[in-house]
Amino acid sequence: MTTTSLVLSEEQTRILKAVAATRMIKGTETSASVSAVIRKLIDDAMPAFRQEVEAR
């Protein structure tokens, strides 16, 4: 995997951490990983991203 950095607002950071913690508590993730939350968001949006790029 590639490592990158993101510039996020405090609110965005807070909600991503909360979602990650909630997923760990529910048992859908083994750790409170913000990276896992972001990867899932990207995976879910991948068809739209590809369509946008191919429409250029």
- The answer to the question of residue 31 being in a domain is yes
Cα separation of 37 and 41, whole Å?
Answer: 6
Alpha-carbon span 13 to 55, nearest angstrom: 31
Range of the domain at 50: 10-54
Number of structural domains (the chain) is: 1
Q: Is residue 5 part of a domain?
A: no
CA distance 49 to 41: 11
Asked if the structure places residue 1 within a domain, the reply is no
What pLDDT tens digit does each residue of the chain (56 aa) get? 899 999 999 999 999 999 999 999 999 999 999 999 999 999 999 999 999 999 98
Q: Is 4 domain-assigned?
A: no
Alpha carbon of residue 19 to chain centroid: 10
In a domain, 17, yes or no: yes
pTM of this prediction exceeds 0.75: yes
pLDDT of residue 22: 98
C-alpha to C-alpha distance for 22 and 8, rounded to whole angstroms: 20
Question: Is residue 21 assigned to a domain?
Answer: yes
Distance between CA 34 and CA 22 in Å, rounded?
11
